[in-house]
Structure 1
Amino acid sequence: MSAASPVPKKLRRTQAERSDSMRSRLLEATLQSLAEDGYAASTLSSIVRRAGVSRGAQVHHYPNKQALMLDAAEDLLRRTYRQLGELLLSIGDEDDRLTRLVEAAWDQVFSTPLFHAYTELLVASLRDDNLADALRERLKRVQSVFAPAVEHYFEPNPKLGGTSKADLHALFQQLSCFLVGLATQAHLMKDRAQVQAHLALWARQAGLVMKARKGVRLPPPRPEAWPRKS
């Protein structure tokens, strides 16, 4: 009778891996709590219970609610950037890229329950100057990363000589504001067709001054690193 094969030892995670895992659980629980319960009801105690971690672990990583909320906001903005990048690369038809991008960004990012977490933070920042300042800095970092991607996929429409690269960036900032605003009011609109009409109208208007670059099949150059926190 042959000897039983030895059971391989389970590799222990490093302290850094355990720390990253704990932090990820807290961030995910925070975003879910914001989306489902709102900012006021998302207390540290409720988030700790949802994450299934100890209060000591939460205090070690995030000493207060604001620190946790801000890191969760940054995590959500990173996810949004990655999702939009994947969407841009997946749309192969240059003639329809702008329209499809707007529709896909709405369907896959801005209209999702998870994005409601960000709108909760935005509303809370109206009465919290520290939160507003921190969100402002995080948005600047996101824009600095997204700006090269805009120029990689789109260019000014040569039919309108006054259009510049600065206009491209301004248009995409307008798109972000438009989609965030729509996300806060879509539940008040009578049906999905009304939302779709607004999306199509923005794409048509933007298409007058910008167009997709031809032959873009590779992602934009990857930033060396996510911009540092200020």
Structure 2
Amino acid sequence: MDGVTTAAKRPRRSQEERTLETRGKLIAATLDVLLEEGYLKLATQRICDAAGVSRGAMLHHFRDKQSLIVAAIDELLVSATAEIRSQADRVRAQEITPEEFVDYLWFEHFSGRLFYLTLEHVTAARTDDEIRAALIPVVRRFHLALDEIWGALFSAAALPRSRVATVLNLTLCLLRGMGVQTVLRPDDPAYYDDLRGVWKIMLRAILDGRVRLETTGRS
């Protein structure tokens, strides 16, 4: 009995566990390689090498590079949704302020890994009909989740629910624009701090009802 190894004593993993492990490695490697090399240089063999998985094993789980990318982006956005919802719950519990929530979105999601990964797939989708069609429902689910999170977060704000969604989209458009700028303006934190600072002042005034959101354009 003393000669029985620890490995021999360990229960064998199920097929489902091995499948999940392989898929997880491939998805993680896809995101890492996509971030490092960009969409245009993304090669399935490079992903397989990074994941330590054979090309045959990859094709067993994903029929092609596109399906792997879509699965990876979906996983990325699902994870981001859970993190954002957790921080929104902290706002509702008054552990952090809405202004701190905006800072969280910027530092954790729009000025680093998540944003640059999404920038890659958005750029690819502009000219690739297949990847665009595959990603639209994935991104739509993410946006619907954000709408739900934001709506619950500011349900008590002094503005109509339709305007709550508008304020969310204004916030996201600002942060996305800032994120794009960081590509060619990476070393100017004061610039981004100032933009966020002005928006947080405006956001507070809107949420408190001191600024009314009216428009003469389309509703």
TM-score, normalised to structure 1's length?
Answer: 0.80
Gaps of 5+ in 2: 209-219
Q: Which residue of 2 aligns with 1:221?
A: none
Letter of the 1:208 partner, please give it: A
Larger helix share, 1 or 2: 2
Aligned-pair identity in percent equals 26
Alignment of 1:1-230 (within 5 A): 9-91=9-91, 94=94, 97-155=97-155, 157-158=157-158, 163-189=159-185, 191-210=188-207
Number of residue-to-residue matches in the alignment = 205
Letter in 1 for 2:113: P
TM-score (norm. length: structure 2): 0.83
Q: Give, in angstroms, the shift of residue 188 of structure 1.
A: 2.6
Q: Could you say what secondary structure the match of 1:63 adopts?
A: coil
Describe the shift of the 1:14–1:171 C-alpha distance in structure 2 as closer, same or farther (beyond 3 A): same
* Greater relative contact order structure (CA < 8 Å, 6+ sep): 1
AA aligned opposite 1:58: M
Q: Is the 8 A contact 2:92 2:153 kept in 1?
A: no
Residue type of the partner of 1:191?
Answer: D
Q: Which moved more, 1:56-65 or 1:149-158?
A: 149-158
5+ long unaligned stretches in structure 1: 212-230
Q: Is the 8 A contact 1:156 1:168 kept in 2?
A: no
Instruction: Report the alpha carbon displacement of residue 177 of structure 1 after superposing the two structures with TM.
Output: 2.9
Q: Superposition RMSD on alpha carbons, in Å?
A: 2.4
* Alpha-carbon shift at residue 83 of structure 1 (Å): 1.5
